[in-house]
Structure 1
Amino acid sequence: MASLFSWITLFVLFCSVSSELILEEGYTVTTVIDGHKLNINPHSVLARPGSSDLLLLDFSNSHLYTVSFPLSNESEVKRISSEEKLGYRDGKLGLARFNKPRSFAVDGKGNVYVADRGNHVIRKISTSGTVSTIAGGLSKAIGKKDGPAQNATFADDFELAVVAERCILLVVDHGSQSVRLIDLKPEDCTTTSPSAQIFGLGAVTVWTLGLGLSCFLGLFVGILVRPYIIPHTGRLHPHQIQQEREALPDQFGETSSDTLLWHQKRNC
């Protein structure tokens, strides 16, 4: 009896789960990077603004790679960090060393922030390819200390996220069960979108083009309406001058029309 009750319970659970499942078709899964063949362990990927490559973080070997688009099994995977493994070294990206980097994030300018878990610090890779430490560089200890970024401490398990609209870097500190916030520099939050170009460096060009266009339109409209404006400027056309002369009286007080009428009567 108990066995029958168990089967009924499982059947009811199966039916309830199946009734809540919604399968949407039209998607395909494709393996584009095989870590076994490349001897790497992909942990996180990131699309960098303005770059034609994808950034890949190898947590196990503490390396950073770029992967060329379009992504496929033939995509070129290129190591961009030092060939040495675990370590801590700033400077040029090709010589920089990391220690079990956990995750990374990118700001509006294209700078990459790396959660260097093994070193308990946050590193920054600038758009020019220079690696620097922005938080946790002085203490190098495990903990949860706020304050100036260089004196701050972090747990041995944390991840990063950038909120570009707010110009902030969020630290999800799993070890201390908290979310920390770092204000980024204003110059690291600029974007190169078309609207930013129009209202930024391209403003002078836009205003110059607009002024030139308005002058051209004004000249074009002036040429079109000129024939309709000249007759009202006070200048008389030859036909108008002749009519005025005929209407003027001569020395006897007679107009040209009166003289013509007198000559017609005389001929009769």
Structure 2
Amino acid sequence: MFCSLMRTVRLAVLTGRRSRAAQELRRPVGAGPQPLGRDLELWYRAAVPSGLRAFSPAATGCWRCGASPEPSSFFCPSCRALQPPDRRLDYFQLLGLPRRFRLDVERLRESHRRLQRALHPDNFGRSSETERRYSEEQSALLNEAYAALLRPVSRGLYLLGLELPDERLAAEDEAPADDPAFLGAVLELNERLAEAESQASIQRVAASVEQRLRELDEQVGRAFEQGRPRHARPLLQQMKYWNSIGDRVKELLLPR
């Protein structure tokens, strides 16, 4: 059933019928033959540039049959056994995405969903204990990668760690205290929140926060694209604080 599903999706994508592909992927995977992974690998090779593809982590080959690894080998190319996660891959590579701050969030969601449908433990209930364990590890790693890349701040901090692997990142609660303009803006927003007496005034504060977050997002993106990751660090710290203020504003806007 899974193989038939993925063949339909692949054909739809190749012929440009993307809407039908999306409909097919929304159908639940019922009981049936265990997925062998060939359709997943075909999609992965078509969707992911060769330089970003996953490789089997086992230098000696498949854990079951010893076959040599090949690109995009979530599954053994010979016996089709699910392989363990390759910890050498970063989150972008794992999800088949370009390593950059500006990401297509819908593409991120689609990639995560597609991989989870193939690698989720529910698909390996009748498999060996080894494959069940690898499935749990693969699924957990995918969720971890997705959560890290979904939000701009966590994505930026993760990318910063990749770009500056030998530098200690600032503590999460460290404030950019050497920026008077930032501190003044935060103080002003907090005062406006404290004095807000209506939903309309709170919504105006919310609009200010959203505008500042958009500006910071643009600045962080430019810093990474121009090869200046160190310039992104204080901006990401500011984004964390503006996000915190945004969370407070959302709480005040909730119905009482």
Larger RCO of the pair (alpha carbons < 8 Å, separation 6+): 2
Return the TM-score normalized by structure 2: 0.24
Return the TM-score normalized by structure 1: 0.23
Looking at CA atoms only, which structure, 1 or 2, has the larger radius of gyration? 1
